Amino acid sequence: MTARQETRLADGRELFYFDSEPGADRSAPDRRVDLPEAETSSEVRWNPLFRDYAVIAGHRQARTYKPPADRCPLCPSRNGSSTEIPADDYEVAVFENRFPSFSLKAAATVPLVDVPPFQSGPGDGRCEVVCFSSVHEDSFAHLSPARARTVIDAWADRTAALARIDSIDYVFCFENRGEEIGVTLSHPHGQIYGYPFVPPRFFRAGEAMRRYRERTGECLQCRMLDAELSVGDRIVAESAGWVAYVPFAARWPYEVRVVPRRHLPDLPALDDEQREDLATIYLDVLQRFDRLFDTPAPYIAGWQQAPVRKDRDVWHLAAEIFTIRRAPGKLKYLAGSESGAAIWINDVTPETAAARLRGEMVGD
Positions in 70-109 near a copy of itself (CB under 8 A) = 101
362 binds a copy of itself (CB under 8 A): no
Q: Which helix (H) or strand (E) holds 171?
A: strand 170-177
263 binds a copy of itself (CB under 8 A): no
**Minimal distance, residue 286 CB to a copy of itself, in Å:** 15
309 binds a copy of itself (CB under 8 A): no
- Give the DSSP letter of residue 142: G
Using N-to-C axis directions, what is the helix angle for 350-357 and 272-291, rounded to 10°? 100
Per CB under 8 A, the list member of 32, 142, 251, 358 interacting with a copy of itself is 251
Are 102 and 196 within 8 A, CB to CB? yes
363 binds a copy of itself (CB under 8 A): no
Would you name the residues annotated as active-site residues?
189
Q: Which stretch binds a copy of itself (CB under 8 A): 14-22, 148-156, 286-294, 338-346?
A: 338-346
**Minimal distance, residue 7 CB to a copy of itself, in Å:** 26
Residue closer to a copy of itself by CB (options 4, 263) is 263
Per CB under 8 A, the list member of 6, 54, 71, 313 interacting with a copy of itself is 54
**Minimal distance, residue 99 CB to a copy of itself, in Å:** 10
**Minimal distance, residue 146 CB to a copy of itself, in Å:** 25
Residue closer to a copy of itself by CB (options 24, 235) is 235
Per CB under 8 A, the list member of 12, 29, 58, 359 interacting with a copy of itself is 58
Using N-to-C axis directions, what is the helix angle for 220-231 and 200-216, rounded to 10°? 80
Per CB under 8 A, the list member of 4, 35, 46, 72 interacting with a copy of itself is 46
The site string for a copy of itself over 142-171 (x = CB under 8 A, - otherwise) reads ----------------------------x-
* Binding positions for a copy of itself, 176-235, rule CB under 8 A: 176, 181-183, 191, 193, 195, 199-202, 204-205, 208-209, 212, 220-221, 223-224, 227, 230-231
CA atoms within 13 A on the CB side of 210: 12
Using N-to-C axis directions, what is the helix angle for 145-163 and 272-291, rounded to 10°? 120
Are 348 and 324 within 8 A, CB to CB? no
The site string for a copy of itself over 105-144 (x = CB under 8 A, - otherwise) reads --------x-xxxx-x------------------------
335 binds a copy of itself (CB under 8 A): yes
The b/e string for 187-221 (b: 16+ C-beta within 10 A; e otherwise) is bbbbbbbbbbbbbeebbebbeebbebeeeeeebbb
User: How far apart are alpha carbons 325 and 95 in whole angstroms?
Assistant: 30
Going through 70-169 in order, the beta strands assigned E by DSSP cover: 92-96, 119-122, 126-131
Q: Which helix (H) or strand (E) holds 123?
A: none
User: How far apart are alpha carbons 38 and 62 in whole angstroms?
Assistant: 10
Instruction: Name residue 96's beta-bridge partners.
Output: 128
55 binds a copy of itself (CB under 8 A): yes
Q: Which helix (H) or strand (E) holds 46?
A: strand 43-47
Number of CB atoms found within 10 A of residue 120's CB: 18
Are 37 and 12 within 8 A, CB to CB? yes
**Minimal distance, residue 351 CB to a copy of itself, in Å:** 9
* Binding positions for a copy of itself, 286-305, rule CB under 8 A: 300, 302
Residue closer to a copy of itself by CB (options 238, 347) is 347
**Minimal distance, residue 115 CB to a copy of itself, in Å:** 6
48 binds a copy of itself (CB under 8 A): yes
Cβ partners under 8 Å of residue 132, min gap 6: 92, 138, 140, 143, 147, 151, 188, 189, 190
**Minimal distance, residue 341 CB to a copy of itself, in Å:** 4
Per CB under 8 A, the list member of 172, 242, 282, 293 interacting with a copy of itself is 172
- Give the DSSP letter of residue 261: S
